[in-house]
Amino acid sequence: MGTVGTFETFTTARLGIYAAQKGLSVTGNNISNINTIGYTRQRVDQVSLKTGANDRYRSEYDNHVGNGVLVTGISQIRDPYLDIRYRTERSDVGYTDTKLNGLNYISAILEEVAKGENDGDGLLYAQLQKMAESLRSLSASAGDKTNDTLLQGAAESLAMLFNQYAGKLESLRQTTMDSFQESLDAVNGILTNIRNLNDAIRKSDIHGDGALEMRDERNRQIDALSEYMKIDVVYSMEDIGGGTQVEKLTIRLGNANPDKQVTSDSAVLVDGIFAAHLEMPDKIPEINPQYDPASTDAVNQFRYLVTDPDTGAVRGTDDPEEANQVSNVNFNLTVGKLLDDKGREWKDSTVTWTPVTPDVPGTRAIYTVPITTNGWANGDVIDIGDGLRFQVAASGGHLTEEEANDPVKLAEVIAARLNRYDRGYAVTAEDGSLVFTARKAGAVGPTDKATLKNQGPDAEPALPKSVSTGGASQTAAIIFGSLLENAPGTDAVLPALPPDQPIVSADGRFSTYSTYAEKDGEWFRVETTVQHTLPVNLDDNDLYGSLQATRELLTESGEFSSSGTINGVDESAAIKRGIPFYQKALDLLANQFATRYNELNSGYLVDQNGHYIRDTGRVNSKGETVYETIADPGTQVTYYVNEAGEYQGLTDPTGTLRAITSTLSNNMNANEKKAFQESLAARGYDSIDAYLTAVGGIKVGGNLFSNQGDSNDATGITASNISVALDWSEGKTHVVTSYVKLFNGDVPNTTQNENVDHMISMLDKALVYNPQDIEPNAASEYLFNGSFNDMLSKVWSTLGNDQRITSVVLDNHYTYMTEVDTNRDSVSGVDLNDEAMNMMQYQKAYSAACRLMTTIDEALDRLINNTGVVGR
């Protein structure tokens, strides 16, 4: 039976009190922080205490009792898996929420549901119909100038609405740009905070402090970061020497890019006490808009464009550094270098030892040359080259005959002599051999005596077994000559090393320092590779979260994207639509509208049959111009069609086609237009218009819309610049109601309206909207086919559907994020019921420990004061 320490149980009670006290403190801390965002509930880690088993009075029986409880630490309760899930969802929420907000802003500008007269006729939408209304009035009363004025007013209102919408969209783009910059600043602030927290936690860790509150704050920062971008958080242990390891936090981008070949989407943002910043360069490589990896074109097979500074010729390149640097309109981002709080760069190094050509003699650090000579006689001179000569003499020489013929002795003498000089090698004599050892690594080279000589294919140099005495000096030179001299062509020189400059990898990420070192008699090339962090140019889809959503709002132009963008930047670019898409779609609508009506309002006069006429230079009795129908040879064409009526050209090589003869007019079908374009091209005219101008056709009318109000220039009309042309607004040009001059002008037709009818029909005509009309490099040639109103409705539908889908997705993500957050809270959050229970539990434990102490006290009191007093 073991013994019991008299006061041992007091310690047990005391430890119990301590533990309960600590428990109450932690509970109090938990309750206090119940509303602290990011707070992780803490708990007391305690273990039961049992002192050593080899005490002095140790019982041979196993009846040891523990000695109470020890508080070993305070820990947090977190589930890393839930953190990962939460942050993934939060980046989803960040992305969709930001996207939806952006789309809502666009919608607030563009969309016209419940706007306009009659509780929702719309503004731009209704204005197009007001144009139709004015045109109908003009058609019914074609000669009335009042209607022309009314139409002009409607056109001005329409242009103004286009201008307003375009202006608001541009303003939204500018605001979003500011917001993007603010987000970048916020992200960089978070990265800095995390780095600083890492540093503080690391220091605490070294000193044994768990730094729980700082970890909470760090988690909060990481949570916030995850809203901006998808991230991958990894915890690892870092060896700080002395057998101590501390936790290291690494945050990388979260592999958001669907292109598996891209690696930049896992760029390191934070590595322990180092952190990078996101930067937006002013200039980026110029993307080849026609880039097609499958192309064999000398330029278009390359991703970027570069202009030769001398010739100005443009060629392709895949090297972003070489490419032309243009404004960063794509808002490309770069992850900068990893720096610590003092601006020091993160580095890592690895050392590799590589044996240098082990089968090449002379690359070794140590060479053993056995001395096997004999037959020397007094009077001989042993010449080992390099000016070293040994006289063999019975006396007064360097060697006696006996010594000369004793390899051990001879080696010692030669070694002693050779070591008198400061050479690159040391020589020792060992058991009849000369051992050459290079004094320093890397001290090699053709002029250095430490260079070890090639002794030929047999590697080991061998001295001749015997030499003759006649002409001994010459013979002797042979012995060492090839060993010590720099005989050209016999060196096995190690590759020269750059003096002190590292070899830097092409991307600058690695610096390699090389040297030679000897180890165990062998030479090694020792390469120390230092890894630097370089700025990482992020690919278009490397980010996710709100930052990427804002980028996409700023850059994505959907069907207006160039093939270079689709092939070289983002394969999904054609189906992503941000502010630029809606700007360009509106531009395309305005451009189409203006172009069509400008075309309709400009043309050549015709007779009642639609045939073009010209001025004869004569006037009739009323002083009016006399016209004549143009009947030049170019106004006739014969072309061929197949059975399906499809145009086949101006010749019939097979003799099976149907010939059609047609006269040039303003009401030709598509085949006739093709035929005339072809036939007139053969006559040297670029177009039908060019021909008509050449043969005296009379062009009338003029542009109704221009690219600014003080000109008639219709080039490059967009929603932002569309205006009523100067001449129309000043009354110099009117709407051409008719191009027809009846019977060459003999019969007046003041209210003829066929051209106004064209204009009315145009409003409901299905037109193809080609993105290339606005963005010449756009990959797509088709956006929509419909009327002007339909196009507007199509834009709204696209926007509305995108909003709707994004809203549903956001709802899902938000619900899931809330759920995960609640799950996370179920692990890490403070619960009042829990804490109330803990409070009661620790309070009871505290009381019990106190009671124990009282009990022991009472027991000891009995023992000390009341024991052995029987009979007193």
**Chain residues 84-123 in contact with other proteins, contact rule CB under 8 A:** 103, 107, 111, 113-114, 118-122
Q: Print the binding letters for residues 732-761 with other proteins: x by CB under 8 A, - otherwise.
A: ------x---xx--xxxxxxxxx--xx-xx
Segment contacting other proteins by CB under 8 A, of 58-66, 220-228, 264-272, 819-827: 819-827
Q: Burial, 735: exposed, middle or buried (Cβ in 10 Å; 0-12, 13-18, 19+)?
A: buried
- For residues 345 and 728, what is the distance between their CA atoms, to the nearest angstrom? 66
- 493-522: contacts with other proteins (CB under 8 A): none
| Ranges of H-type helices in 229-361 | none
- 670-689: contacts with other proteins (CB under 8 A): 670
Q: Which is nearer to other proteins, 471 or 645 (CB)?
A: 645
Query: What end-to-end distance do the CA atoms of the chain give, in Å?
Result: 32
Q: Which is nearer to other proteins, 108 or 313 (CB)?
A: 108
Q: How far is the CB of 589 from other proteins (least distance, A)?
A: 15
Q: Which is nearer to other proteins, 118 or 311 (CB)?
A: 118
Q: How far is the CB of 21 from other proteins (least distance, A)?
A: 19
Contact 354, 527 (CB under 8 A): yes
Q: Which is nearer to other proteins, 525 or 596 (CB)?
A: 596
- For residues 404 and 469, what is the distance between their CA atoms, to the nearest angstrom? 12
Q: How far is the CB of 815 from other proteins (least distance, A)?
A: 8
Q: Print the binding letters for residues 27-46 with other proteins: x by CB under 8 A, - otherwise.
A: -------xx-----------
Segment contacting other proteins by CB under 8 A, of 170-178, 379-387, 551-559, 811-819: 811-819
Q: Which is nearer to other proteins, 240 or 808 (CB)?
A: 808
Q: How far is the CB of 692 from other proteins (least distance, A)?
A: 17
Q: Is 539 a residue that touches other proteins (CB under 8 A)? A: no
Q: Is 667 a residue that touches other proteins (CB under 8 A)? A: yes
- For residues 854 and 845, what is the distance between their CA atoms, to the nearest angstrom? 14
Q: Is 718 a residue that touches other proteins (CB under 8 A)? A: no
Q: What letter does residue 624 receive in the DSSP assignment?
A: P
Q: Burial, 558: exposed, middle or buried (Cβ in 10 Å; 0-12, 13-18, 19+)?
A: buried
Q: Is 836 a residue that touches other proteins (CB under 8 A)? A: yes
Residues 304-331, buried b or exposed e (16+ Cβ, 10 A)? bbbeeeeeeeeebbeeeeebebeeeebb
Q: Is 598 a residue that touches other proteins (CB under 8 A)? A: no
- 751-810: contacts with other proteins (CB under 8 A): 751-754, 757-758, 760-761, 764-765, 789, 793, 796-797, 799-801, 803-804, 807
Name which position in 608, 625, 677, 711 contacts other proteins (CB under 8 A).
608
Beta strands in 334-464 (DSSP E): 334-335, 347-355, 366-370, 381-385, 388-391, 425-430, 433-438
Q: How far is the CB of 741 from other proteins (least distance, A)?
A: 12
Q: Which is nearer to other proteins, 564 or 697 (CB)?
A: 697
- For residues 122 and 128, what is the distance between their CA atoms, to the nearest angstrom? 10
Q: How many residues lie near other proteins (CB under 8 A)?
A: 80
- 123-142: contacts with other proteins (CB under 8 A): 125-126, 129-130, 132-133, 136-137, 139-142
Name which position in 463, 613, 830, 845 contacts other proteins (CB under 8 A).
830
Q: Is 223 a residue that touches other proteins (CB under 8 A)? A: no
Q: Is 11 a residue that touches other proteins (CB under 8 A)? A: no
Q: How far is the CB of 155 from other proteins (least distance, A)?
A: 16
Token digits for 107? 């919608």
Contact 334, 317 (CB under 8 A): no
| Ranges of H-type helices in 711-831 | 726-729, 754-764, 788-828
Q: Is 63 a residue that touches other proteins (CB under 8 A)? A: no
The three state secondary structure string of 72-112 is EEEEECCCHHHHHHHHHHHHHHHHHHHHHHHHHHHHHHHCC
**790 closest CA partner among 756, 826, 823, 766:** 766
Name which position in 840, 859, 863, 864 contacts other proteins (CB under 8 A).
840
- For residues 15 and 6, what is the distance between their CA atoms, to the nearest angstrom? 16
Q: How far is the CB of 202 from other proteins (least distance, A)?
A: 29
Q: Is 630 a residue that touches other proteins (CB under 8 A)? A: no
Q: Is 429 a residue that touches other proteins (CB under 8 A)? A: no
- Other beta carbons within 10 angstroms of residue 224's beta carbon come to 19
Q: What letter does residue 687 receive in the DSSP assignment?
A: S
Residues 12-45, buried b or exposed e (16+ Cβ, 10 A)? bbebbbbbbbbbbebbebbbebeeeebbbbbbbe
Distances (CA, A) of 838 to 31, 161, 546, 841: 11, 68, 41, 5
Q: What is the largest CA-CA distance in the chain?
A: 167
- 370-389: contacts with other proteins (CB under 8 A): none
Q: Which is nearer to other proteins, 143 or 445 (CB)?
A: 143
Q: How far is the CB of 311 from other proteins (least distance, A)?
A: 48
Q: How far is the CB of 822 from other proteins (least distance, A)?
A: 4
Name which position in 70, 74, 280, 668 contacts other proteins (CB under 8 A).
668
Q: How far is the CB of 266 from other proteins (least distance, A)?
A: 32
Provide the sign of the torsion angle of the four alpha carbons 855, 857, 861, 867, taken in this order: positive
- For residues 409 and 373, what is the distance between their CA atoms, to the nearest angstrom? 11
Q: Which is nearer to other proteins, 6 or 822 (CB)?
A: 822
- 139-168: contacts with other proteins (CB under 8 A): 139-144
Q: Which is nearer to other proteins, 506 or 747 (CB)?
A: 747
